[in-house]
Chain A
């Protein structure tokens, strides 16, 4: 698809339909047809495998940030042995700049519920948990209401649509820890333990919740499953960029006129998103930098953005990633030292403290950045910061250390003159 086609795209997940979040309106608009078809239309869906294959074929790349093919992930589940199996839906979204799942909870919770139910059927799962960050108090309540409604209508529970498939669905509220969005520490948290990421292997598909096979999917990913079943893998594959197909919920924030969540095909040019979708830069200022997919993805300078589209391959050519497509736009007045310090502060605050490099490294990064920000920095501090990022990256159990290290490395590399200028102005007290 050419980069212009996004202009004609009709939203599927968050269409402009009033009260779509209620089960009645959702049903009126074809809701739960996908589930019904999967469970009852034996011609189209002879077995669970056919569902998995369809999803695999669609190549829904996980929308939680890692971008792994969801159908492929499903196929890693070992054969059912009669014991419990779990689907854990990750709605912890805590990465700064990311707020897309919230939109689903608010506007179209049943699309997600339906997708999760289809996933559960495909993997012969007995229990679904949806883990929602504790700060989303209102959305947790909305989700509980939606699940209650679906139970009432018989879409969740025993023998759904008269098929042998039964499943339970629970909402679990987080308690404000970013780390619990990491899939294995989310499992620990669900089990009622301290949110420490687990060492992999064993992978959750082998040993997940309470040691049983578990699949973890992002909320948006599961919502897309419903569309794939409704419209077919072919349709999904033909939306957006070829290697990263399908619609994406872009969360655009920062110095733009119309920040918000926009459902558009993948591969929309970054500059189009800023200028056409989000209404251009606020107060007519000049664009300075963009963080494309949540605070951990490397920041891009305005001069790097020409012709770059929002998909993994295109962003890789300029050294960044799609992440969660939570784009942060910054104008010319932005102080990059401040930005980086704030990001480092976040990761320092959120490091769980299990592994040494992350526990100690995130704090050290923040302290040096604070020193620079307060006009006490020295040029050598910049090299120390870069050194620390290599000391942290790839040396820990989960990816939080990487997420903390990348912004530091790339922000300094791409805005080094700004950091150096700040350091040169430093005033040191005579000792």
Chain B
């Protein structure tokens, strides 16, 4: 197998590989700005310089040549090389900044040059704390600057598009953003304008940077030149907790991180998953953070004399059980939802089973033309396949209308059919409507009983995407009944580890009075004297995996280990195994 020698250590490698990527894969570090594993390497920041040579082979024998001490002879490249675009070859010898003074000096020199026209406004810059320029300057940069003349001034606070703001002075011209629109989103909306130290990225005159993936350029930007119009000045990154989760606004199930502070989700960024979304996500998914904070239903609500009033959990449980008891079983319609997780849907269906009710049906949420060939899908719900695998019958919107008209009691979960225009308020007149929902809507306002349930940011639950991949979320924010310090699934932030008591989330504000669906169902079952205990997402999934062949082998441990599981691949595997 071909070998490279990096800082005196021998590594074997296979195939065509870029040196910088390989060095990173070995857990070592070389500073860089413009390189990105999913895009071409333009080698324009010139930060990842290393010293590269090649063992000299004898032309005839093919053996390595050795000097009088028996050491292999190395022929060095006359200049330092950028490692990002250098393909590795057998017998390559590399010295990084760790072993070579010249490399160290070159990297320091380069950072000094990058910084001369950079405004160094870290204290007011949103990127501070997660800024490659800041981090690498501390690690590899010069101690001060010798630049005593005037900096170049460029446009600031330029609204490039509805979601992205440019500060051209901070830009270091790495061209990651322009390459993103060229190579990944393929809208070609951004380009570099002007020449030399006056250049900066911009959209063509008269055009707007409204790429449906525009906010990825904000993540890509290695400095604070491109910032999110929405998140700008909202929070410092070191005050936030970062929790892995799943995008619930489309069928793709992009892997995301939820960023929390004071029990509010403040932003959503993509999390790398090579099998689903790579490093990217659509802008639409990022705006979902508002759903987790705003317009939330807190405490159950019940209709009294045609007026919705706040109720108590005891009341809600009693009312729910009573409605089930007094209604004829064949007149009860349970509508499961592709907007709810596998575990939530399962809880409903299990309850229906034990009570001898009809199995739930569901209506897919598909809008033709919404999808593209990238990360947006026609399917606007995160769990359509999950409903199918649970064995629920998929019905059309039309048939939903008919079935609702025949029923007396209808139970909805996380699906807002009136808002979607599938049902009208007349359709549900004289019917009892129960809805499990996280957010207020027209639909919840017309319900007789509203059960506030946890949203994806508050519980651990799984979703099956359009490619049959099951992936799960982690709780990112507290409800009234959960505690961050006791819940092992919740992530720790920097302040949790290093802050004082007063730095931390101490506020009781922003905690929603809601329960996970399975907890509510457990309570209801207990009220009716049925033996049903659904403890949490993890145990519910264990139960599903044990009882439904479609989910066999699925567990939270396995999903965490493998960053999600492809169920159709699992099925193939179990087939060949048996």
Contacts and interface: CB of A to CB of B under 8 A. Distances in A.
B211 to A, nearest CB: 19
Q: Which of A177, A352, A353, A396 is the most central at the interface, judged by chain B CB atoms within 10 Å of its CB? A: A353
B47 interface: yes
Given A356-B44, A359-B173, A397-B43, A351 B195 contact: yes
B114 A360 contact: yes
Interface centre among A350, A361, A363, A371 (most CB of B within 10 A): A363
A1 interface: no
Contacts of B85: 199
B196 A194 contact: no
B46 A357 contact: yes
A396 B106 CA distance: 12
Interface in A241-298: none
Contacts of A177: 195
A364 B116 contact: yes
B149 A364 contact: yes
Contact of A356 (B80, B110, B149): B110
A355 B46 contact: yes
A394 B192 contact: no
A352 B196 contact: yes
Contacts of B49: 395
Interface in A185-210: 194, 199
A191 to B, nearest CB: 14
Contacts of B195: 177, 349-353
B194 interface: yes
Interface in A354-381: 354-357, 359-364, 367-368, 371
A356 B114 contact: yes
A367 B149 contact: yes
Given A194-B191, A356-B113, A363-B117, A395 B46 contact: yes
Given A363-B152, A395-B49, A395-B106, A351 B113 contact: no
Contacts of A304: none
A309 B218 CA distance: 57
A250 B559 CA distance: 73
Query: Which residue of B42, B146, B152, B197 has the most chain A CB atoms within 10 A of its CB atom?
Result: B197
Nearest to A400: B196
A391 B117 contact: no
Contacts of B59: none
A269 to B, nearest CB: 32
A348 interface: yes
Nearest to A367: B149
B46 A367 contact: no
B79 A394 contact: yes
Contacts of B45: 355-356
B109 A349 contact: no
A355 B114 CA distance: 10
What band does the interface of chain B fall in when counting residues whose beta carbon is under 8 Å from A?
A: 20 to 34
Contact of A364 (B147, B172, B194): B147
Given A355-B46, A397-B43, A194 B192 contact: yes
A384 interface: yes
B112 interface: yes
A359 B118 CA distance: 12
A116 B199 CA distance: 36
A359 B196 contact: yes
A177 B113 CA distance: 23
Interface in A159-196: 177, 194
Nearest to A195: B195
B139 interface: no
Interface string B509-542: 0000000000000000000000000000000000
Nearest to A351: B196
A367 B148 CA distance: 9
Interface in A367-414: 367-368, 371, 384, 391, 394-397
A199 B43 contact: yes
Nearest to B33: A356
A397 B196 contact: no
Of B79, B196, B199, most buried by chain A (CB within 10 Å of CB) is B196
Interface in A321-358: 348-357
Interface of A: 177, 194, 199, 348-357, 359-364, 367-368, 371, 384, 391, 394-397
17 contacts: A199-B42, A199-B43, A349-B196, A350-B195, A355-B44, A356-B45, A356-B110, A357-B113, A359-B173, A359-B196, A363-B116, A363-B117, A367-B149, A384-B146, A394-B80, A395-B49, A395-B79
Given A353-B198, A356-B173, 7 more contacts: A199-B85, A353-B173, A353-B197, A356-B113, A360-B116, A384-B146, A397-B44
Interface of B: 42-47, 49, 78-80, 85, 106, 109-110, 112-114, 116-117, 146-147, 149-150, 152, 172-173, 191-192, 194-199
